[in-house]
Amino acid sequence: MAVHNLRSYDYKVYVTGPFQAGKTTMIHTLDPDTISVERKLRDQYRGEESTTTTGFDLGRVIWARKSAESAGLIIPKNEFLRERDEYYAWLAKEVELRGVPGQLHFKFVRDTMRINSNGVLLIVDSSDPAMIGDASAILAETLAAFGNLPMVVIANKQDLPESAYPFQVSTWLGVRETIGMSAKDKESCKDALILLLRKIEGVLMNRTSRTPEESTLPFQQI
Ligand SMILES: Nc1nc2c(ncn2[C@@H]2O[C@H](COP(=O)(O)OP(=O)(O)O)[C@@H](O)[C@H]2O)c(=O)[nH]1
Ligand SMILES: [Mg+2]
């Protein structure tokens, strides 16, 4: 039986965006065994004292590809470990998904979870134009903190009839490209994550000038 020693977290993906944008939903859709820490807090939200839920999510998935050129699959880590013989000789990268709390005043939590991240998913609720202010603030904070780290902006909740098109969300935020997603739909979550992972890998390969096979070599250790 092949034993695949995966290096811990080949890629760390920082998942940010405003409160209620769909961060927790996306990470749970990709990894049903996601660890979520949720706390009820007394909170000041838009001037009113209330309780709110804050928290973070840690998901673990494997990006498995038959070759470095193929888009590949995103498989929950535990499922991959159960069925790993099926993926013998595939290229596999372990990806940690770190969902951070979206309320603007939890910046200190986001700062802590930013360490060593390789890329960013910024999730916006495209059915709620009122959230664009918060989304712009988080985008500005993310750009300032991460510099030119690979980032994918996601227009979430595309399944809702009132949602704006991804290109409209791009215009609102002043970004070049936005990809549509429904966090409840596995395929669209996978597409958004793979788009980011390919960007991350492109940056890493430019930096090290390694071939795709070499850059995914650690998975082949037995
Ligand atoms: N219709 C729809 N609802 C969504 C989608 N993503 C998240 N939601 C809902 O939006 C709410 C907030 O989602 P959550 O993942 O907790 O947001 P977070 O604060 O960013 O972690 C929940 O009620 C979700 O069920 C989506 O793509 N479509
Ligand atoms: Mg959440």
The per-residue pLDDT of the chain, averaged, comes to: 86
Buried-state track 191-206, b at ≥16 Cβ within 10 A, e below 16: bbbbbbbbbbbeeeee
The per-residue pLDDT for 47 is 62
Domains, the chain: 11-220 (3.40.50.300)
pLDDT per residue as tens digits for the range 155-191: 999 999 999 999 999 999 999 999 999 999 999 999 9
Query: Residue 102: what pLDDT?
Result: 76
Task: Give the C-alpha separation, 139 to 24, whole Å.
Answer: 18
Q: Can you tell me which atom of ligand 1 is nearest the CA of 55?
A: 21
Q: Is the pLDDT of residue 45 over 80?
A: no
Pocket test for ligand 1, best of 19, 20, 27 (most atoms within 8 A of CB): 20
pLDDT of residue 218: 39
CA-nearest residue, atom 25 of ligand 1: 25
Question: Which runs of E-coded beta strand occur in the chain?
Answer: 11-16, 35-45, 48-65, 73-76, 91-99, 119-125, 151-156, 178-180
Tokens of 77: 């880590």
No. of helices (H) and no. of strands (E), the chain: 7, 8
pLDDT value at residue 149: 92
Residue percentage of the chain with pLDDT more than 90? 63
Residue 11 CA: distances (Å) to CA of 53, 71, 93, 173, 215: 28, 16, 7, 26, 12
pLDDT of residue 110: 79
Residues 48-71 as b/e (b if ≥16 CB within 10 A, e otherwise) read: eeeeeebbbbbbbbbbbbeeeeee
CB 78 within 8 A of CB 44: no
Q: Ligand 1 atom 13: the closest Cα is on which residue?
A: 22
What digits encode the pLDDT tens for the residues 70-87? Answer: 999 999 999 999 999 999
- Reported as a single tens digit per residue, the pLDDT across 182-221 is 999 999 999 999 999 999 998 877 776 555 444 443 333 3
Give me the residues paired with residue 178 across strands. 153
